[in-house]
């Protein structure tokens, strides 16, 4: 219905352009009063708008040549059945409230609009409607509202009018600021168009002597609205001739613009003329070509005036050399999609050449409307992975949430966003399926995300644009970056940067809130999820005296909600003083252990690529290409730091990662040294089950604008497996009291050694030896440590007691104490074949026996001296105490003896000579724990007279 009313109003307005400036009747127009007041019907009210408050509309009339028609295009109107007869009767206004449908009845009036006027004031009275009938024209009313309910009203000869200007003068004068007067109300089916033809008489400024008459132009409402006022022109040849001009006629008001040739066969036929002025020309020359724009079928002679429309631009694809008038039909094939790279507004026909980038935004949808409004609570989300298939290409959104896959080739594609547990709610589709031509219809594809619950986290990075500190006095550029890795805005926060104490000072590039010694403090506010901020400063290297020293700087970042810490992160930067550095380099962190740069298979590697514009002009674009080793897992790739807004693209097939700093405008080092630096950092992990010893190498290529690549150094890392660092060897696991135990670490890559003896700390050496003086079972433990591993192992040893070794002499028969095996010695030398417990001696000398137990341990007895001259069995000397701790006493029964103390290898460690009968103290000052033989000899002839066994604890 809205479209129907709009059509009526526009047609009426077209007619009003003629009315304005000619009369006191401004316009006649319809207005929708109610829709479905009567179900299925629309009720219209037709108003006449007067020029001012003095004008008075007093009649609406119909004539046979200009009848009044009111109704609809379907010749159906609505009359309240009970109150259907309204013409010629007073309008029953007092019944409208009690019979609601009467409010939507079709009726005629002048001025009555209900109980209140348009200003809200009560109307004093209802207007009595008078109908004047002309008996000479019977019937006066044809299909009027009352005579034939349900069809349009046609009034051929009659009028309805208001008389008098008494208490109800406002009815004809108009109501409200627009001075409008209600003429009729008509209710028709909603699908029909409203039709009306009206003729109006009014008093100019309320003067009954100054009557203005207005007639409708059409018949039976074929056209709508008024043409122009008839005015007071009395010339029948005038366009505005008025048969009833009123009391005052004025020929100066006559208009003749409607005169002309009305013969359609004439050469000069004027379709706008309504009065023929005799000017028609029936024989004429003109364009005789029926294909011409100005073809004149009545022309009998071609005068060369033919006009041909077409494209007159020779650069257009449809250039027409015959055309004499450019008709705007020129066709310029090209790209007509405004968001295409090669769009040009001159093109008006799409030739399929559009180069359209596939791009869009990932955004936090604060109101969950599914529409990116680029205004809080909506904002772009950085670090979101969007994947295009086929092609296996992933783009990580930049700081604004933007992603761009560049121009895609023809084909069918799927675009999807990687699930993010921080933002599990999708307010838009989580994937789009499309073909390349669809990009001409959709400017970009956006992904809206929202969270289910609050999560706070912050990521911190301390960085520098050098890989080694110089030794000059120029400041070295440093930065602290911190990124909101949660899903909520961090309202405020604090950055605490602790610089190494060896730095000679610092220079603030970013405003510092405060500083204390070598610690500086910064604050921040309103850090959005995914957003990253930086604080920059320069530090002064300590100089060449500290060459080789590693300096450490640590940042602590606190995310706050008021006074409460809701997120925390820290990071330490360690760089060596090298007195030189390369401004364009690559670094792997951790560097790794030993020259092979060993790392564990689950170590997360962080690669940092630094770059500096050392040219002589700003760089508009910086591109870094980095091909990832097949030994690294691309699915674990994560962007951790970037000094400038960057768009990251990952090609899963070629494994190439591109970091594009578009419109970076990086200044050159001679103009702005601190600002000439930049960097990118990302983390990644080795693939699962990577083999031990695998070498992982990486090199980056840096492009400044269109210049050749700057190739960085190659980093390398080698996969290391922990597990054998705690390995060690023992000289034996079963030993005897008096034996020496040697333990040795056997692994190549151990830097710290921790030995335990029965869980008690024992040694920090790679190898050790211990003489065993106590029998029992003991636990030997070892923990081998290097920068990657700490591995411990243990084993037990058994130390057996020595068997008892004594000799019983019975004349020349010597019997050893019990054991499992024996070996007899004469003067310290083994006797071949004498391996029984009993021996018959045949020679003089000192006899000893080694007694073996079943555990393999043995001990050597004290010597027994056999001398056929002397009394067999007489003892020359005794030792007490034995075993000894600090000392023992040697008791000699006779004199002229010498004493030699021999160790287990037979070497003399202590010798005493010219001893007389008596007692002598032997101290352990030069004797280590062990078993010794004390050999007593005749001082004169050297004959061994007795051998004693001495145990030193």
pLDDT digits (tens, 9 = 90+) for 403-416: 999 888 888 999 99
Taking the C-alpha atoms of 149, 153, 156 and 162 in order, what is their torsion angle to the nearest 10 degrees? Answer: 100
Q: Is the pLDDT of residue 697 over 90?
A: yes
Q: Is the pLDDT of residue 142 over 60?
A: no
- Tokens encoding 47: 């108003």
pLDDT tens string 755-775 = 999 999 999 999 999 999 999
d(CA 148, CA 145): 6
**Whole-number Cα distances in Å, 8 to 5, 36, 193, 915:** 5, 19, 8, 151
Find out whether 235 and 249 touch, Cβ atoms under 8 Å: no
pLDDT tens string 350-378 = 888 888 888 999 999 999 999 998 777 89
Among 76-85, 213-222, 240-249, 788-797, name the most confident range.
788-797
Q: What mean pLDDT is reported for the chain?
A: 82
The set of residues, in sequence order, having a beta carbon less than 8 Å from that of 710 and lying 6+ positions away, is 584, 611, 701, 702, 703, 704
Poorest-pLDDT segment among 75-84, 191-200, 686-695, 811-820: 75-84
The whole-number pLDDT of residue 95 equals 56
d(CA 438, CA 411): 10
Residue 333: phi and psi, rounded to 5, are -65, 140
The whole-number pLDDT of residue 146 equals 46
Poorest-pLDDT segment among 153-162, 311-320, 511-520: 153-162
Band of residue 48 on the pLDDT scale cut at 50, 70, 90: confident
Q: What is the DSSP string of 338-377?
A: TTSTT--TT--EE-S----EEEEEEEE-TT--SS--SSTT
Poorest-pLDDT segment among 554-558, 791-795, 901-905: 901-905
**Bridge partner list, 45:** 31, 185
As separate numbers, helices (DSSP H) first and strands (DSSP E) second, the chain gives 2, 74
Of 880, 870, 932, 922, nearest to 901 by C-alpha is 932
Taking the C-alpha atoms of 102, 103, 106 and 107 in order, what is their torsion angle to the nearest 10 degrees? Answer: 90
Give the residue with greater pLDDT, 192 vs 95.
192
Buried b (16+ CB within 10 A) or exposed e, 893-910: eeeebbbbbbbeeeeeeb
The kind and range of the H/E element at 9 are helix 2-19
Measured CA angle at 645 (ends 641, 648), to 5 deg: 70
CB count, 10 Å around CB of 941? 6
- Tokens encoding 130: 């008078």
Q: Which CATH superfamily is domain 454-581 in?
A: ntegrin, alpha v. Chain A, domain 3 (2.60.40.1510)
The kind and range of the H/E element at 156 are none
Among 137-141, 276-280, 795-799, name the most confident range.
795-799
CB count, 10 Å around CB of 626? 20
The whole-number pLDDT of residue 875 equals 73
Residues, the chain? 953
The whole-number pLDDT of residue 130 equals 35
- Tokens encoding 741: 């135990």
The whole-number pLDDT of residue 605 equals 96
d(CA 593, CA 725): 14
Of 482, 501, 506, 479, nearest to 492 by C-alpha is 482
Find out whether 487 and 451 touch, Cβ atoms under 8 Å: yes
d(CA 36, CA 525): 57
Buried b (16+ CB within 10 A) or exposed e, 76-86: bbbbbeebbeb
Find out whether 307 and 327 touch, Cβ atoms under 8 Å: no
Residue 161 CA, chain-centre distance (Å), reads 75
Q: Is the pLDDT of residue 16 over 80?
A: no
Q: Is the pLDDT of residue 904 over 80?
A: no
Considering the chain, what percentage of its residues have pLDDT values greater than 90? 46
Mean pLDDT of 862-877: 67
Class of 583-720 per CATH?
Answer: mainly beta
The whole-number pLDDT of residue 140 equals 27
Poorest-pLDDT segment among 177-186, 424-433, 460-469, 896-905: 177-186
d(CA 127, CA 161): 10
Find out whether 938 and 867 touch, Cβ atoms under 8 Å: no
The kind and range of the H/E element at 171 are helix 170-173
Give the residue with greater pLDDT, 425 vs 50.
425
Considering the chain, what percentage of its residues have pLDDT values greater than 70? 85
* 274 φψ region: left (φ > 0), alpha (ψ -120 to 50), beta (else): alpha
Residue 565 CA, chain-centre distance (Å), reads 24
Find out whether 282 and 265 touch, Cβ atoms under 8 Å: yes
The whole-number pLDDT of residue 228 equals 36
Of 61, 47, 60, 70, nearest to 174 by C-alpha is 47
Residue 38 CA, chain-centre distance (Å), reads 56
Q: Which fold has domain 875-953?
A: Immunoglobulin-like (2.60.40)
- For 728-800, CATH gives 2.60.40.10
Q: Is the pLDDT of residue 687 over 60?
A: yes
The whole-number pLDDT of residue 101 equals 63
The whole-number pLDDT of residue 21 equals 33
Among 50-54, 221-225, 393-397, name the most confident range.
393-397
d(CA 63, CA 221): 14
Q: Is the pLDDT of residue 920 over 80?
A: yes
Buried b (16+ CB within 10 A) or exposed e, 477-509: bbbbbbbbbbbbbbeebebbbbbbebbeebeeb
The whole-number pLDDT of residue 871 equals 44
Residue 688: phi and psi, rounded to 5, are -65, 140
Q: What's this model's pTM, rounded to 2 decimal places?
A: 0.56
Q: What is the DSSP string of 879-948?
A: EESSSBSSEEEEEESSSSEEEEEE-TTS-EEEEEEEEPSEEEEEEGGG--SEEEEEEEEETTT--EEEEE
Give the residue with greater pLDDT, 601 vs 76.
601
Give the residue with greater pLDDT, 466 vs 384.
384
Taking the C-alpha atoms of 588, 723, 690 and 749 in order, what is their torsion angle to the nearest 10 degrees? Answer: 40
Per-domain residue ranges of the chain: 2-229, 349-450, 454-581, 583-720, 728-800, 802-870, 875-953
* Residue appearing with tokens 């051998």: 947
Q: Is the pLDDT of residue 417 over 60?
A: yes
Band of residue 436 on the pLDDT scale cut at 50, 70, 90: confident
Q: Is the pLDDT of residue 229 over 60?
A: no
pLDDT tens string 117-140 = 333 333 333 333 333 333 333 322
Find out whether 518 and 499 touch, Cβ atoms under 8 Å: yes
d(CA 364, CA 36): 44
- Tokens encoding 177: 């600021």
The whole-number pLDDT of residue 52 equals 82
Q: Is the pLDDT of residue 314 over 60?
A: yes
Q: Is the pLDDT of residue 168 over 60?
A: no
Give the residue with greater pLDDT, 164 vs 952.
952
d(CA 237, CA 896): 183
**Whole-number Cα distances in Å, 220 to 106, 194, 196, 849:** 18, 11, 7, 153
d(CA 194, CA 47): 14
Q: Is the pLDDT of residue 23 over 80?
A: no
The whole-number pLDDT of residue 186 equals 86
Band of residue 252 on the pLDDT scale cut at 50, 70, 90: low
Half-sphere exposure of 839 (CA within 13 A, CB side): 24
d(CA 315, CA 117): 65
Mean pLDDT of 826-852: 91
Taking the C-alpha atoms of 255, 257, 259 and 262 in order, what is their torsion angle to the nearest 10 degrees? Answer: -140
Instruction: Report the 3 state secondary structure along 63-102.
Output: CCCCCEEEEECCCCCCCCCCCCCCCCCCCCHHHCCCCHHH
- Tokens encoding 676: 């000439």
**Coil vs helix vs strand at 251:** helix
Q: Is the pLDDT of residue 793 over 60?
A: yes
d(CA 123, CA 638): 78
Half-sphere exposure of 833 (CA within 13 A, CB side): 1
Give the residue with greater pLDDT, 384 vs 578.
384
The answer to whether the peptide bond before residue 590 is cis (omega within 30 degrees of 0) is yes
Mean pLDDT of 898-908: 85
**Bridge partner list, 212:** 202
- For 349-450, CATH gives 2.60.40.10
Q: Which fold has domain 802-870?
A: Immunoglobulin-like (2.60.40)
Residue 821 CA, chain-centre distance (Å), reads 84
Q: Is the pLDDT of residue 167 over 50?
A: no
454-581 and 728-800 share one CATH topology? yes
């Amino acid at each position: 219905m809205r479209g129907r009313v709009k059509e009526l109003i526009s047609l009426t307005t077209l007619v009003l352009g003629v009315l304005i400036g000619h009369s006191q009747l401004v316009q006649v127009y319809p207005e929708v009063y109610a829709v479905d007041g009567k179900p299925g019907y629309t009720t219209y009210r037709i108003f006449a708008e007067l020029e001012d408050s003095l004008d008075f509309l007093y009649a609406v009339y119909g004539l046979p040549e200009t009848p009044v028609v009111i109704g609809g295009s379907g010749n159906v109107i609505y009359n309240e059945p009970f109150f259907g007869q309204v013409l010629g009767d007073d309008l029953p206004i007092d019944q409208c409230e009690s019979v609601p449908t009467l409010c939507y009845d079709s009726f005629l009036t002048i001025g009555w609009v209900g109980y209140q006027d348009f200003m809200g004031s009560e109307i004093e009275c209802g207007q009595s409607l008078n109908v004047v009938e002309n008996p000479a024209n019977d019937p006066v009313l044809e299909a009027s509202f009352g005579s034939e309910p349900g069809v349009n009203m046609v009034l051929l000869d009659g009028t309805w009018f208001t008389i008098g200007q008494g208490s109800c003068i406002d009815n004809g004068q108009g109501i409200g600021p627009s001075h409008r007067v209600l003429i009729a109300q008509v209710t028709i089916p909603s699908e029909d168009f409203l039709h009306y033809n009206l003729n109006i008489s009014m008093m100019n400024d309320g003067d009954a002597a100054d009557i203005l008459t207005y007639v409708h132009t059409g018949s039976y409402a074929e056209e709508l609205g008024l043409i122009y006022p008839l005015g007071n022109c009395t010339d029948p040849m005038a366009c505005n001739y008025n048969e009833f001009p009123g009391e005052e006629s004025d020929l100066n008001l006559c208009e003749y613009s409607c005169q002309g040739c009305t013969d359609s066969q004439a050469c000069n036929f004027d379709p706008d003329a309504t009065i023929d002025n005799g000017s028609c020309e029936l024989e004429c020359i003109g364009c005789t070509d029926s294909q011409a724009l100005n073809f004149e079928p009545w022309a009998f002679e071609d005068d060369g005036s033919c006009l041909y429309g077409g494209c007159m631009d020779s650069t257009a694809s449809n250039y027409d050399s015959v055309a004499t008038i450019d008709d705007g039909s020129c066709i310029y094939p090209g790209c007509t999609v405004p968001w295409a790279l090669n769009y040009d507004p001159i093109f008006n026909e799409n030739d399929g050449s559009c180069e359209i980038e596939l791009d869009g935004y990932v955004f936090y949808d604060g109101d969950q409307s599914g529409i990116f409004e680029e205004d809080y609570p909506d904002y772009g989300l950085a670090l979101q992975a969007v994947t295009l298939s086929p092609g296996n290409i992933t783009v990580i959104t930049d700081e604004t949430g933007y992603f761009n896959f560049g121009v895609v080739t023809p084909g069918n594609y799927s675009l999807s966003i990687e699930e993010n547990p921080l933002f599990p709610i999708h307010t838009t589709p989580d994937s789009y399926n499309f073909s390349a031509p669809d990009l001409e219809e959709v400017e970009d594809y956006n992904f809206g995300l929202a969270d289910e619950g609050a999560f706070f986290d912050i990521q911190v990075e301390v960085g520098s644009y050098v890989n080694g500190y110089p030794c000059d006095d120029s400041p070295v550029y440093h930065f602290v970056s911190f990124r909101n890795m949660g899903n909520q805005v961090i309202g405020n926060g604090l950055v605490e940067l602790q610089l190494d104490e060896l730095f000679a000072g610092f220079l603030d590039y970013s405003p510092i809130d405060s500083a204390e010694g070598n610690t500086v403090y910064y604050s921040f506010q309103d850090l959005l999820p995914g957003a990253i901020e930086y604080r920059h400063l320069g530090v002064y290297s300590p100089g060449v005296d500290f060459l080789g020293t590693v300096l450490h700087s640590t940042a602590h970042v606190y995310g706050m909600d008021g006074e409460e810490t809701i997120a925390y992160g820290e990071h330490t930067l360690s760089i060596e003083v090298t007195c030189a550095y390369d401004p364009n380099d690559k670094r792997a962190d951790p560097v790794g252990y030993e020259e092979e740069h060993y790392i564990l298979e689950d170590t997360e590697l962080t690669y940092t690529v630094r770059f500096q514009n050392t040219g002589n002009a700003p760089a508009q674009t910086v591109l870094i290409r980095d091909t990832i080793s097949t030994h690294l897992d691309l699915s674990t790739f994560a962007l951790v730091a970037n000094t400038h807004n960057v768009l990251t693209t990952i090609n899963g097939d070629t494994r190439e990662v591109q970091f594009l700093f578009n419109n970076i405008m990086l200044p050159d080092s001679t103009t702005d040294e601190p600002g000439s630096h930049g960097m990118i950092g990302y983390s990644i992990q080795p693939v699962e089950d990577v083999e031990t010893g695998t070498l992982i190498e990486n090199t980056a290529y840096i492009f400044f604008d269109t210049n050749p690549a700057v190739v960085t150094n190659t980093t390398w890392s080698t996969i290391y497996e922990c597990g054998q660092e705690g390995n060690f060897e023992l000289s034996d696991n079963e030993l005897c009291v008096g034996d020496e135990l040697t333990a040795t670490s056997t692994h190549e890559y151990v830097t710290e050694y921790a030995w335990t003896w029965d869980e008690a700390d024992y040694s920090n050496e790679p190898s050790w030896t211990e003489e065993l003086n106590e029998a029992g079972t003991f636990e030997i433990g070892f923990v081998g440590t290097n920068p990657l591993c700490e591995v411990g192992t243990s084993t037990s040893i058994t130390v057996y007691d020595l068997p008892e070794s004594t000799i019983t002499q019975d004349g020349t028969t010597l019997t050893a104490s019990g054991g499992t095996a024996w070996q007899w010695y004469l003067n310290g030398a083994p006797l071949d074949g004498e391996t029984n417990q009993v021996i018959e001696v045949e020679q003089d000398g000192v006899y000893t026996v080694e007694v073996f137990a079943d555990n393999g341990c043995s001990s050597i007895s004290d010597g027994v001296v056999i001398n056929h001259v002397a009394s067999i069995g007489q003892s020359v000397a005794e030792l007490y105490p034995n075993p000894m701790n600090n000392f023992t006493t040697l008791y000699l029964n006779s004199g002229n003896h010498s004493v030699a103390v021999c160790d287990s290898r037979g070497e003399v460690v202590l010798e005493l000579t010219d001893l007389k009968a008596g007692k002598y103290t032997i101290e352990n000052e030069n004797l280590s724990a062990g078993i010794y033989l004390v050999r007593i000899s005749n001082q004169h002839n050297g004959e061994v007279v007795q051998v004693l066994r001495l145990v030193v604890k």
